[in-house]
Structure 1
Amino acid sequence: MELRQLRYFLTVAEEASFTRAAARLHVAQPGVSAQIRSLERELGQPLLDRSARAVRLTEAGAAVLPYARAALAAVEDVRTAVDELTGLLRGKVAVGMVAGSAALGVPEVLAAFHDAHPGVEVTLTEADTDPMLDALRAGRLDVAIAAFAGAAPDGIETRTLSDQPLVAAVGEGDPLAGRRGVTLAELGDRALIGMRPGTAMRAILDAACAAEGVAPRIAFEAGNPQVLGDLAARGLGVAILPESTARARPDLRVVPVTVPPMRGRVALAWRAEGPNGPAARAFIEHARARLATPPE
C-alpha cells in the first residue's frame, strides 16, 4: 500500500469524480484509476462505486476513508516536525474568494505571504460563497474570502473585512441620478442589474424585495460587481452594488436605498476546528493582520 494510492483515493472521494480528481492532482486520469484499482486489489474490496454518474464510496470505501485521511495527515505531521526543527514552513494552502474581493487587498496579501514563505504552495480559486463554505467544511479549501447575507453557518469562523450598504447605481443620464435616496418599491418598475442567484448579494436583494412585497425585474445578471457597474454606466438599468464599489467609479451616480436599508458583509472564513496544517494556520494569521478591515 502506497501513500500515493491513499492520496488518489481520498481526492476522488472528495471530488466524486475521477476527472476532477485528476485535474486537482495534476496527473492523467488513467493513472489515478490504475492506482486506485491496485489499492482495491490489495484490500480485496471495491472502494468506489463507479456505476453512477457521480463516483460514490462503497461500504468498504467509507470505512477506509478516515484511515486514509489520518495516514496522510500523519505523514504531513512528520514533514512539519522536521521543518519546524530547521525553521522552514512548507505545505499547501488553498484559498477561495468571491468575485470583487481582490479590491480588499487579496493579491498583495498573497504576494507578501509568498515572499515570507516561499516553500508554501498557495492556490487561489474564485467561486460563490455557498460552494466555498462546502469546500471549507470538506477540507478542499483552507480559507475563503466570502460574502454573507447573515451570520456564518455553524462550524465556520469569520473575521469581517467589509460591512457596507448596498446602493442603487445608475449612469449619469438616468432619471435617478442626483436623487438623495430611493426606496426599493420605487425601483419595482425599473430594470435591475444584480448578481446572479446563489450569491450573497443576490440573497440580500431577494430577501429585501420579499419583505417589501416587491417583484423585482432583474434584466441583467452577472457574477462580478464590476460587470454590473459597466452595464449601469451604459444606461441599461439600475445596478445594486456595494457602496464602495459604486463610489469608486466616476461613471456611476450613487443613490442610497433608504427603505429597506440593505447591507453586505465580506469576511475571512475558515473552519472553526482549525485549518489542516501549520502553513494554513500561518496564512490565516497573515491574512487577518494584513487584509482591509471596516472603519470604526
Structure 2
Amino acid sequence: MELRTLEYFIAVAEERSFTKAAARCHVVQPAISQRIQSLEKELGEPLFERLPRQVVLTSGGAALLPHARACLAAAAAAALEFADRSGLLGGSFALGTVGGLEGTRIPRLLGEYHRRYPRVAVTLTGASSPSLLAKVRNGEIDAAVVAGPPEGTLAAVASRVLLEDRIVAVLPAGSRATNRPMPLDEVARSPVISYGPDSGVHAFVREAFAAKGLRLDIAYATNDVALQVALVAERIGIALTSHASPVLAADPRFVIVTLEPAIRLRKVFVWRPGTRPSAPLRAFLDLWTELSDRPTREGPATGATVGG
C-alpha cells in the first residue's frame, strides 16, 4: 500500500469523480483508475461504487478513508520535521534581550545551542522591554527576554517565565539596618534612583507606589544597575533595583534592604503565538525544556537584573 495510491484514493473519495481526482493530482485518469483497482485487489473488496454520474464510497472505502488520511498526515509531519532539521544546518535565530542576563539560564542555553547547532546564526538585540515586545509582535525578531507586566499577562505573545524577582532598596553603607524593611512612604521622602519609563520594570515600581497613594519621583533614571549603585555610593539617593542583579553581590559601599510592601516582578521569554515557530526557535524551546529537567549550575535565585 503506497502513499501515492492512498493520495489518489482520498482524491477520488473527496471529488466523487475519477476525472476530477486525476485533475487534482495532475495525472491522467487511467493512472488513477489503475491504482484504485490495484488497491481494491490488495484489500480484497471494492472501495467505490461506480454510478453513472459519480462514484461513492462502499463500506470498505469508508473504513479505509480515516486510515488513509492519518497515513498521509503522518508522512507530511515526518517530512516537515526533517525539513526543520535540515533548516537548523543554516538557519537564523534573532533574540532580543534586556540588560543583565548573565545570572539566568540564558547563557547556558545559548552555549548548549551553539554546540548543537553551530551553523545557526544567532543575533542578539539589546533594548527595553516595550521595544522588544513590539519587535516580537511585528516579527522583526524571533523571541525576546523581557520584564513581564504587573498585571501578569502579555497580550499577543506566547511566554515562559524565566525569573521571579523583587525590587529592593539600595542605600549607602551604615545608613540603615538590613533587617528592618523600608516602607514605600519612607522611600518617597528621599531622592530615588531607578529605572526609566522606557524600562518594563518602571511600571512595577510606579504601580506599587500608586497603590499606596504615593507619588513616585525618580530623580536619577537609568536602566544601568551598576550606575544606579554607583550613585548610591556617592550618597545621591536610594536606588530601587532588581534584587537578582549580580552587581549587588557583597559590596561594602552599600546595604540592601527589603521593601514594605514587596514589589515583585518577573522576567519572561516571549515569542509570537498562533503560527508554527521556525526550526531554530523550536529547537531553542525544546532545549529549554530538556535542560530544565537536568541539575543546574545556577544558584537558588537563578537571577539577574531585570534591566529593560
- Kindly indicate whether residue 160 of structure 2 is the aligned counterpart of residue 145 of structure 1: no
Cα pair distance change 1:235/1:290, threshold 3 Å? farther
C-alpha displacement at 1:264, in angstroms?
1.2
Q: Deviations for 1:192-233, whole angstroms, at most 9, x for unmatched residues?
A: 110011212111111112222222331211122232222223
Cα pair distance change 1:240/1:288, threshold 3 Å? farther
Cα pair distance change 1:145/1:249, threshold 3 Å? farther
What amino acid is the match of 1:214? L
Matched-pair contact (CA < 8 Å) for 1:165–1:263? yes
Q: Deviations for 1:48-85, whole angstroms, at most 9, x for unmatched residues?
A: xxxxxxxxxxxxxxxxxxxxxxxxxxxxxx9986574x
Show the counterpart of 2:124. 124
Task: Please give the alpha-carbon distance, in whole angstroms, between the structure 1 residues aligned to 2:166 and 2:264.
Answer: 4
Matched-pair contact (CA < 8 Å) for 2:191–2:238? yes
TM score, norm. by length of structure 1: 0.65
* SS of residue matched to 2:197: coil
Q: Deviations for 1:138-163, whole angstroms, at most 9, x for unmatched residues?
A: 11111111111332322212111211
C-alpha displacement at 1:176, in angstroms?
2.8
C-alpha displacement at 1:115, in angstroms?
1.4
Show the counterpart of 1:167. 168
C-alpha displacement at 1:293, in angstroms?
9.6
TM score, norm. by length of structure 2: 0.62
Task: Please give the alpha-carbon distance, in whole angstroms, between the structure 2 residues aligned to 1:170 and 1:274.
Answer: 47
* SS of residue matched to 2:176: coil
Task: Count the aligned residue pairs.
Answer: 216
Identity %: 27
Matched-pair contact (CA < 8 Å) for 2:192–2:217? yes
Matched-pair contact (CA < 8 Å) for 1:83–1:89? no
Q: Deviations for 1:96-118, whole angstroms, at most 9, x for unmatched residues?
A: 01112232143332222111101
What amino acid is the match of 1:152? T
Higher alpha-carbon Rg: 2
Cα pair distance change 1:289/1:228, threshold 3 Å? farther
C-alpha displacement at 1:125, in angstroms?
0.9
Cα pair distance change 1:293/1:90, threshold 3 Å? farther
- Kindly indicate whether residue 196 of structure 2 is the aligned counterpart of residue 196 of structure 1: yes
Matched-pair contact (CA < 8 Å) for 1:159–1:288? no
What amino acid is the match of 2:163? S
Q: Which moved more, 1:126-135 or 1:228-237?
A: 228-237
Task: Please give the alpha-carbon distance, in whole angstroms, between the structure 1 residues aligned to 2:183 and 2:194.
Answer: 16
What amino acid is the match of 2:244? S
Matched-pair contact (CA < 8 Å) for 1:142–1:280? yes
* SS of residue matched to 1:250: coil
1:66-77 maps to which residues of 2 (within 5 A)?
A: none
